[in-house]
Amino acid sequence: MTACLLLLSAVALTLAVPVPRTLARAWWPEREPVVALWVWQCLVATVLLCCLAGLVLGTAAVFGTVHDRVFAPAPPAVTAAYDLSVAPVWAAGLTLLLAGGAAWTTAMLAREFVEARRRRGLTRAHLRERAPDLPAGLPAARGPLLVLEDEYPDAWWMPGHPPQLVVTTGALHRLTGHQLDAVLAHERGHARARHDWLLHLSTALATGFPHVPLFAQFCEQTHRLVELAADDTASRRHGHLTTALALIELNQHRGVLSCASSNRLLSERVDRLLKPPPRLARRRRALATAVAALVPLLPLLITFAPGLTALG
């Protein structure tokens, strides 16, 4: 049991501190934002699985009731392989730390999703007030597209039931037909990939553990990569230049494209669309995806290795 806890701690610390800093400086995520998002999710899943496995083993070692429930169906040889009869003092302290972390993580996730639902309800109520009144006898707009009368050009996807794409008349006047199609494709790319769930998850973890490099970088990179991924979705269907011009038209009045602007992401997105980087070879994309998918299996292998060895 001691060896398992030490290995799980080593894997979690390695993936939580040096690996995210290295990945954030890598050159390839800009070329493959979808693959990069998958890699970040696998890293986070691995760390969380390490903590969960350590919590289960530590709790089973400290509390006899939990030990009996966890190892009830296991043969005596498997139970003996974990050597949970005497738990060291540091294992009890680690168990308490992991239990507190699990409770805090659950609270942060619940808070984020409750707040998101509340904000979405307020936004929908505000949009119902701003939506133009329809003639008597016509049903209220419940379709996927909602047009607001507003000279301010804007467009965004609002998740929920039902999800809706909101576009202002200012955007309709400013954008050409092809540019509007590119904007709609961008927002639909967010919706199909369920980027809102990913953003809520990364925000909750970064809020709850702001000093953990993995969670802080996961939040920052997720907000960046989901936009790059949606840009790629739009540019593949409507062209890089059309998508870049649509992005400029929607944002130039805000001054975010000027040299003095602090919004570097938007300038980066425009530059990337005007000078699209070459994609990675298909074999490299498949290899990166497969390797990332195997990483979360590492804590499971460490946890079950003593039992499998005993059975063998």
Mean pLDDT of 239-265: 76
Query: Cα(83)–Cα(44) distance, rounded to whole angstroms?
Result: 29
- Secondary structure element (H or E) that encloses residue 155, with its range: strand 155-158
From 15-29, 83-97, 194-208, 255-269, the region with the lowest mean pLDDT: 255-269
Q: 10 Å Cβ neighbour count for 216?
A: 17
Q: Name the band, by pLDDT with cuts 50, 70 and 90, for residue 81.
A: confident
Mean pLDDT of 246-259: 73
Q: Alpha helices, DSSP H only, in 18-175?
A: 18-24, 33-62, 64-70, 76-82, 89-130, 169-174
The pLDDT assigned to 22 comes to 95
Q: 10 Å Cβ neighbour count for 135?
A: 5
Give the pTM.
0.90
What tokens were used for 180? Answer: 């509007």
| Cα angle value 161/167/170 (rounded, 5°) | 160
The β-bridge relationship of strands 145-148 and 164-168 is parallel
With contact defined as beta carbons under 8 Å apart, do 201 and 109 qualify?
Answer: yes
Q: Which residue has the tokens 């467009």?
A: 155
Query: Cα(216)–Cα(194) distance, rounded to whole angstroms?
Result: 21
> What residues form DSSP beta bridges with 216?
none
User: Among 249, 199, 237, which Cα is nearest to 219's?
Assistant: 199
Residue 21: alpha-carbon gap to chain centroid: 17
Q: Is 129 exposed, middle or buried (0-12, 13-18, 19+ CB in 10 A)?
A: exposed
Q: Is 122 exposed, middle or buried (0-12, 13-18, 19+ CB in 10 A)?
A: exposed
Q: Name the band, by pLDDT with cuts 50, 70 and 90, for residue 143.
A: low
- Secondary structure element (H or E) that encloses residue 165, with its range: strand 164-168
In this predicted model, what pLDDT tens digit does every residue of 226-250 receive, in sequence order? 999 999 999 999 999 999 999 999 8
